[in-house]
Structure 1
Amino acid sequence: MQYEATGITVSYGPRRVLDQVDFTARAGEVTAIVGPNGSGKTTLLRAMSGETPHQGQVRINGADADAMTARQRALHRAVLPQSGSIAFPFNVLELVRLGLTAGLSSDDPGEADRITLAAIARVGLEGYETRMVQELSGGERQRAQMARVLVQIWQPVLDGQPRWLMLDEPVSALDIRHQLTIMHLAQDYARAGGGVIAVMHDLNLTAMFADQVNLLYDGRLRRSGRPADVLNDQDLSACYNCPVRVNTPPPDGSPWVLPQSMV
Structure 2
Amino acid sequence: MSVLLEAKGVSYRSGGRMLVEVVDLSIASGSFTIVIGPNGAGKSTLLRILCGELSPTEGEVRLDGQLLRSLPAWRLAHSRAVMPQASDLSFPFTVFEVASLGVEGIGRGLSRSDRQRFVLDALAQADVMHLAHRNYQTLSGGERQRVHFARVLAQLQAGRTVESRQMLFLDEPIASLDLKHQLALLQTAKSLAQGGLAVMVVLHDLQLAAGMGDDLVLMHGGRLVTRGRPETVLTPPMLTEIFGVNLIPSVLPPSPWTLAPAGLRSDAAWSG
TM-score of the two chains, using structure 1 as the length reference:
0.92
Quote how far apart the aligned CAs of 1:249 are.
4.4
How far, CA to CA, are the matches of 2:109 and 2:257 in structure 1?
46
1:208 CA drift (Å): 1.8
The gaps in structure 2 that reach 5 residues or longer are 265-272
Q: Please report how far the alpha carbon of residue 104 of structure 1 lies from its aligned counterpart in structure 2 after TM superposition.
A: 4.2
Partner of 1:38: 40
Contact 2:94-2:134 at 8 Å conserved across structures = yes
The 1-side partners of 2:9 and 2:161 are apart by 28
Distance in structure 1 (CA, Å) of the matches to 2:252 and 2:260: 21
Matches of 1:128 and 1:250 in 2, distance apart? 34
**50-59 or 140-149: bigger deviation:** 50-59
**AA aligned opposite 1:259:** L
In 2, the alpha carbon distance for the partners of 1:185 and 1:80 equals 14
Match in the other structure for 2:75: 72
Report how far residue 113 of structure 1 moved: 0.8
1:156–1:192 Cα contact (<8 Å) kept: no
Are 2:114 and 1:117 equivalent residues in the alignment?
no
- Secondary structure (helix, strand or coil) at the match of 1:8 reads strand
In the alignment, is the contact (CA less than 8 A) between 2:10 and 2:22 conserved in 1? yes
Residues 1:190 and 2:193 are matched in the alignment? yes
2:232 to 224, 229, 241: 229
Tell me which residue corresponds to 2:269. none
Cα 1:103–1:155, aligned 2, differ >3 Å: closer, same or farther? closer
Equivalent in 123, 132, 149 of residue 152 of structure 2 = 149
2:50 to 48, 51, 57: 48
Change (3 A) 1:158 1:103: closer
Q: Call closer, same or farther: CA 1:128–1:255 in 2, change over 3 Å.
A: closer
Alignment partner for residue 162 of structure 1, among 156, 162, 165?
Answer: 165
C-alpha contact (below 8 Å) 1:8/1:20 kept by paired residues: yes
Tell me which amino acid in the other structure corresponds to 2:107: G
Aligned length: 259
Describe the superposition over 1:177-202 as per-residue Cα deviations: whole angstroms up to 9, x where unpaired.
00011011101110111110000111
Q: 1:160 to 1:14 in 2, by over 3 A?
A: closer
Cα deviation, residue 13, structure 1: 2.4
Report the CA distance between 1:145 and its aligned residue. 0.7
Counterpart residue number, 1:22: 24
How far apart are the structure 1 equivalents of 2:215 and 2:179?
A: 22
Query: Take 1:221 and 1:142, find their aligned partners in 2: how far apart are those partners?
Result: 28
Q: Does 1:60 align with 2:58?
A: no
| 1:256 CA displacement | 3.7
Does the CA contact (< 8 Å) of 1:156 and 1:162 recur in 2?
no
CA contact (8 A) 1:18 1:44 kept: yes
Question: 1:138-158 CA deviation, whole Å, 9 max, x = no partner?
Answer: 000001011111111126966
The amino acid that maps onto 1:202 is D
User: 2:270 matched to which residue of 1?
Assistant: none
Check the 8 A contact 1:169/1:199 in 2, yes or no.
yes
Contact 1:96 1:147 in 2 (8 A): yes
Q: 1:79 to 1:154 in 2, by over 3 A?
A: same
Deviations 1:159-186, CA, capped at 9 Å, x for gaps: 6742111000011111110001101110
Q: Is the 8 A contact 2:252 2:258 kept in 1?
A: no
TM-score relative to the length of structure 2: 0.89
The secondary structure found in structure 2 opposite 1:127 is helix
- What residue identity is the alignment partner of 2:237? Q
Are 1:204 and 2:207 matched, yes or no?
yes
Counterpart of 2:177? 174
Identity, in percent, stands at 35
1:132-147 aligned within 5 A:
132-147=135-150
Q: Is the 8 A contact 2:246 2:260 kept in 1?
A: yes
Please state if 1:214 is matched with 2:214: no
For 1:105, which of 91, 96, 109 is the aligned residue? 109
* Aligned residue number for residue 95 of structure 2: 92
